[in-house]
Amino acid sequence: MREILIDLKALKENLQYIKAKAGVPVLAVVKADAYGHGLIQCAKAASEAGADYLGTALLEEAFTIREAGIKTPLLAWLNPPGLDFKKAVSQDIEIGVASLAAFDEVNAIAGAKIHLKVETGMGRNGFSDEWPELLNRDLSKVVGVMMHFARADEPNEIQNKNQIANFEARVSELKAKGINPIRHISNTAATLSNESAKYDMVRVGLAMYGMSPLGRDHNLKPIMKVRAKLVVVKELPAGHPIGYGATVITKEATKIGIVGVGYADGIPRNAVGAGVTFNGQSAPLIGRVSMDQIAVDLGSNTEAKSGDWVTVIGENYDIYDWAKACQTITYEITTRISGRIPRTYIES
């Protein structure tokens, strides 16, 4: 009674647009189940569209990609010590490290390819106080160096320039040791807004799925559409409470549709101001989101009936509308959409 449609043709077009705009190799980020869109299907589509690299946060995600037979160069970067790095090297997975302990484990493996993640101002994952000691290690297996912007979606913030300066200082120290690594620091926001940050490769996730952290970009097409059926359509009189806490009371007689999705499916409970689309008409949310269902106001003259499909994400209420309604970002919405909603992959 509900489904997610993933448009892989649109994904490929988005990636090709980004490749042309970037002008440098592109690492397609497919972490977090490809931002909720499906790891293997999106990794294959990105590879077919010309991704130069694939990128994941977790090594387990990278193993899944290799087990699916995808041969594209692959980097996994969120790695504590103690993981199965030998298996990763045997599968030609390049490994991001941010601590001496992890570096020493990976560096001891013949054939390893290491990307150093450096701290430049994000205050998160990356070499910082251990950096001077790292420079005394054998760095011959280092093939890349990376960082992450804290405020790339705020292009005019001085912190972006400061992070680049800090990054270039780290790169200079590596070059002084005879290492000339692939430099990659740009996420989607930086790729779209910061020419000085492209270096040797950009890492693009969000834009590939048709979204931009800078706001709607009509060159990008969101690839996810969420649909569900109306479980019940019924007329309620004026003055009738709706949902938990009776947070809404109908002002006039209207028809209410009960849609079979809720916060267990990833529709945030705090959503206010979003809704669904039926036959091109908007039907706003009314009352609180429940675990398995939402109520929408179809209007007194609607022709909707039980069993009809409505579009939850897409059409009149797109992913940006839902993010605004939930006071969050678009990719939190897509990554939290539950696996209990089946995904259907199309080439529109």
Residues known to be catalytic: 31, 244
State the maximum Cα–Cα separation within the chain, in Å, rounded to a whole number.
Answer: 77
| Kind plus residue range of the DSSP H or E element containing 245 | none
What are the structure tokens assigned to 167, written together? Answer: 């990054």
| Strand, coil or helix: 23 | coil
Cα end-to-end distance, the chain, whole Å: 22
Instruction: Report the 10 Å Cβ neighbour count for 206.
Output: 24
Backbone angle region of 174, left / alpha / beta, with phi > 0 → left and psi within -120 to 50 → alpha:
alpha
d(Cα 21, Cα 202) in Å, to the nearest integer? 11
Answer yes or no: are the C-beta atoms of 164 and 186 closer than 8 Å: no
Which of 103, 105, 104, 108 lies closest to 118, judged by CA? 103
Residue 33 DSSP code: H
